Amino acid sequence: MSRGLKAPFKAFEGKKSKDKHIRLTKDMLDNKTFRKLTGKTIIVYMYMKLWANGETEFDYAKSLGSKVVSPATFTNAVKELVSKGFIERVYFSNGGGHKANRFRFSDKWYKDSL
């Protein structure tokens, strides 16, 4: 297949042929630090990757995460992702002014597992 042409999604991957997707590598999935994440934290991480759309820094509000998991679970997932080096908090919003939190993806999780 030539560059620029995308293979269509198979039916078991989802019904939308032009849907957004994220990259998860075998190296990441096999990593001991990644495997220690809770299931809900992995789901939040995948949604963050989807929302970031390939960017390293991204805004992600608690209200977005709370559409997928409970607000308390979302807060715990973010804490876990920060503590284990998957994301860094660039800006923390206390909710005033309705400004979203800003995060940055990090490779510290990988470096810590070497």
Strand partners, 91: 102
Domains by residue range for the chain, with CATH:
22-112 (1.10.10.10)
% of the chain exceeding 90 in pLDDT: 61
Residue 90 or 95, more confident: 90
Residue 76 pLDDT greater than 70, yes or no: yes
Residue 27 pLDDT greater than 70, yes or no: yes
| Rounded alpha-carbon distances, angstroms, from residue 96 to 72, 92, 100, 101, 104 | 19, 11, 10, 11, 21
What pTM was estimated for this model as a whole? Answer: 0.85
Residue 5 pLDDT greater than 70, yes or no: no
**CA 31 – CA 47 distance, rounded (Å):** 19
**How high is the pLDDT of residue 92?**
78
Residue 79 pLDDT greater than 70, yes or no: yes
